[in-house]
Amino acid sequence: MTAIGRVEIIYVIVNISKCGVTPPIRGIHMTKNEQMDQLCINTIRTLSMDAVQQANSGHPGTPMAMAPVAYCLWQRFLRYDPEHPLWPNRDRFVLSMGHASMLLYSILHLCGVKDADKHGNISNRLSIEIEDIKNFRQLGSRTPGHPEYGIAAGIETTTGPLGQGAANSVGMAIAGKWKAGYFNRTDLDLFNYDVYALCSDGDMMEGVSSEAASLAGHLRLSNLCWIYDDNNITIEGSTSLAFSEDIAFRFKGYGWRVIRVKDANDLRMLARAFRQFRNTHDRPTLIIVSSHIAFGSPNRQDTAGAHGEPLGEDEIRLTKRNYGWPEDAKFFVPDGVMAHFRKGLGRRGKKLHKSWGRKLDEFRDKFHREAGLLDSMLNSRLPDGWDSELPVFPPDVKGIASRVSSGKVLNAVAKYVPWLMGGSADLAPSTKTLLTFEDAGGDFSTANPKGRNFHFGIREHAMGSILNGLALSRIRPYGATFLIFSDYARPAMRLSALMEVPTIYIYTHDSISVGEDGPTHQPIEHIASLRAMPGLITIRPADANEVVEAWRVIMQLRHEPVALMLTRQNIPTLDRSRYAPASGLAKGAYILADAEDGKPDLLLIASGSEVSLCIDASEQLKSEGIKVRVVSMPSWELFEKQSQEYRDSVILPTVSARIAVEQGATLGWERYVGDNGQIIGMHTFGASAPFKDLQKKFGFTSDKVVAAAKVLVKI
């Protein structure tokens, strides 16, 4: 076989006791170092057992089985400074098997990882104290059932939905490669970190991990290592019930290096596997580790402790007895364990961090501009002049599609913000998301790590998860596809909102005006469903200048993801000398046109392409003596952030005659039109036809709006 095609298998003698630990072989003496290794591993295990038992909820088996793997990685290999857990060049550890959260909480505590506040200031307290472990899965605790980003330092991403963490790690690895390509100089490597993800059988079954692994192999991300816990167990029982593929050859097909370790307890072979990953420079690595979940009782079934069930006090006593542990001691950390981690991980991490600090000082001395950009990126600040070339679009009745104007604005911003980067799920020509200015860097690849255009392929789900990994690495990422395919990206979008990271989702072809592609490509319920997601900001601009203002808002967000929804078809660019400035978008909704006396008989409220439709209808109604206010409402979420006084000044409580117009599901608009208002929207799926025919068929015409208005004002 070729080097790339070879599957490397490391064979060792498997000796797993009833408790899942490899004890000393009779007659063979363990060295002091080996005894300390085993003591640390068993401390991880017993903390995990005790926490799950006290909570009466959780998954003790996997943390117990994977304790040697986590110990070997953190103590011997991970480049991580527990005193400075936000060090930009730290290795990343992602627990994709989020149900095994006690493994991460235990290791963070024992390693003495310090906490950091929301501003990045390091605290004197530990990220995870022993009291936090005692409060595992309790209300308000720092140790929820699945790891959540932002609660405690050392948790690199929110995991739980299987496959997400693994896909996030691909984004983190891409970010590492890009930072190295952009900032590193000869003999001055600021960025060379690796990314490790611990994965389960469930991660391997989820489609998002397949998408992400395929792209990682294509991009030859040599700084990425997945560790697969091959334990043949899921909640329903043996994986043989539903899973029989050859993972090793699947990943070989993706272009990964594959290494096997036949016993999760064998620290020597685990260390060898990690060294082989470190020495691989042309592809990502998958380490398949075989583990066996077993406990004190020889008859206990693996699945119980593996997923969602405490062991029980009797089982814990038996297991601790097999460890040589005090049977009734709970949350016991033996003397010397934390000191041992300080001597290993702590000493190594401190030395590496100090060395990096000296390199950073040298970089600042030699490369002032780039150092300023680096500081801005790491602190989520925008560079001076970032908005200096934002365009102003002249009035145009024919107009321009908002996807096209967005592409122009994106390029104007990205020119000044080098870490603004992204791409499309194979639709860049349609979504207009390619960066085309002179210094854009071209396409990201192994040969060109400075590239800022990403080709995600037709992998919408992985794209969203990879974007989150990039965002967690201080990159400002965007990903684009048609709005209809937000369905495929939705799990990742939800995690963007949950983690409060400012990932940018660009969705074009935002209505039935997609036209001839028909109902499979025409979004109906999608805008409403995205508005229902807590923490996500949706923006649907009415014209090119609202697009400009949308990007102005988006770039200043630090904790909210955005879904920017754009048209395929041309929409008029409004004459802002006649209508209110587009800067009103920043407040979510604003009075675009009003009755001369400011006392309208009727409110017309719309988003996106339907705003110009309401403008046309208002002119006709005005000629018939009806006083109309037109409200452009591109973002419900931004509007709801405004004061009650402002909201009432836009949507007058005294005017009950209101019409909302949007080419999507009507759900939710009732909050703005009230009991006496009317909503012109979609109640069925669309159809295949030219978009003007569709607008007429489904009632998106000025005549339909005028007729509805006359009914409401009783003319």
Instruction: Name residue 559's beta-bridge partners.
Output: none
Q: Residue 677 — φ and ψ, nearest 5°?
A: -90, 180
Can you tell me the distance from the alpha carbon of 606 to that of 614, in angstroms, rounded to the nearest whole number? Answer: 7
Can you tell me the distance from the alpha carbon of 473 to that of 223, in angstroms, rounded to the nearest whole number? Answer: 14
Q: Residue 615 — φ and ψ, nearest 5°?
A: -60, -45
Per DSSP (E only), the strands in 64-176 are 92-95, 114-116, 122-126
Structure tokens at 244: 């029989």
Q: Residue 23, Cα to own-chain centre: how many angstroms?
A: 41
Closest CA to 554 of 669, 444, 646, 417: 417
Residues near 29 by beta carbon (within 8 Å), at least 6 away in sequence: none
Residues near 693 by beta carbon (within 8 Å), at least 6 away in sequence: none
Q: Which phi-psi region, left, alpha or beta, contains residue 432 (left: φ > 0; alpha: ψ -120 to 50)?
A: left
Residues near 13 by beta carbon (within 8 Å), at least 6 away in sequence: 263
Cβ atoms of residues 568 and 508 within 8 Å: yes
Can you tell me the distance from the alpha carbon of 200 to that of 506, in angstroms, rounded to the nearest whole number? Answer: 32
Can you tell me the distance from the alpha carbon of 659 to that of 651, in angstroms, rounded to the nearest whole number? Answer: 11
Q: Which phi-psi region, left, alpha or beta, contains residue 547 (left: φ > 0; alpha: ψ -120 to 50)?
A: alpha
Closest CA to 104 of 160, 57, 171: 160
State which amino acid sits at residue 659.
I
DSSP reduced 3-state for 583: helix
Structure tokens at 580: 């209110």
State which amino acid sits at residue 540.
R
User: What would you report as the CA-atom Rg of the chain, rounded to the nearest whole angstrom?
Assistant: 28
Structure tokens at 322: 């097999």
DSSP reduced 3-state for 21: coil
Cβ atoms of residues 437 and 407 within 8 Å: no
Which pairing describes strands 658-665 and 602-606: parallel, antiparallel, or unpaired? parallel
Q: At what angle do helices 61-72 and 267-278 cross, to 10 degrees?
A: 60
Out of 156, 315, 460, 662, the active site residue is 460
Does residue 500 have an active-site annotation? no
List active site positions: 460
